[in-house]
Amino acid sequence: MAGGRFVTRIESFSRGRPITTMPITIGGVPKLQLLEQVKKVRYLSPYADRIIRQEAFTTLEQPETAIQIILTVRDFGFTEMAHVADLLNSERLSRWSDTHLDGWEVTLNPAEAGPHLAIQYTDQPVDEFLWMAMDRIIGHAGRPYLFYIERDDDEVFSLDSHWMYPAAPWPLHYIVAFRLRQKDINR
């Protein structure tokens, strides 16, 4: 597997603004096999393990490329902590995309992007804590969970999840991986 890292550069569609992206492959792997692949390269928390085993966690039958884009809460114009529901709001993402990208849009990831990114993001910097922008999956006690990918100061790579209610606050510095897609001109 080639070393995976995010690259920051100005793209023809990013209106002169540098963006940080990394293409990953998702799909083509049944979820229990995906779980085992994560365990080979990262610590898998019991919480993330349970989320992957949930019925709501699904994988695509066929592989496809899912470009990841890293954004912060501040990138979306927030000047104080944002609520999770506001940050992950599809209408807000669409408006932001229309303002900042030509012919491309920022969307939520399918949940399987979390484990796939955990496997493919081999050059993750020390002390980076990267949240996944995704539809939350209901887990233990009815709590909605999101994945996060971490490389701590002991250089332990992990895939974990944490419950995030809609009103949960996110600080301005949190970094979040969204999906970057070319807009469908037929819509």
- pLDDT above 90 coverage of the chain, percent: 86
Average pLDDT for the chain = 93
The answer to whether the beta carbons of residues 33 and 116 sit under 8 Å apart is: no
Binned at pLDDT 50, 70 and 90, residue 1 comes out as very low
pLDDT tens digits, 60-96: 999 999 999 999 999 999 999 999 999 999 999 999 9
18 Cβ contact partners less than 8 Å away, ≥ 6 residues apart = 8, 9, 10
Amino acid at 170: W
187 pLDDT above the threshold of 80? no
pLDDT tens digits, 142-183: 899 999 999 988 888 999 999 998 899 999 989 999 999 999
Looking only at Cα atoms, what is the longest distance across the chain? 48
Averaged pLDDT for residues 105-109? 98
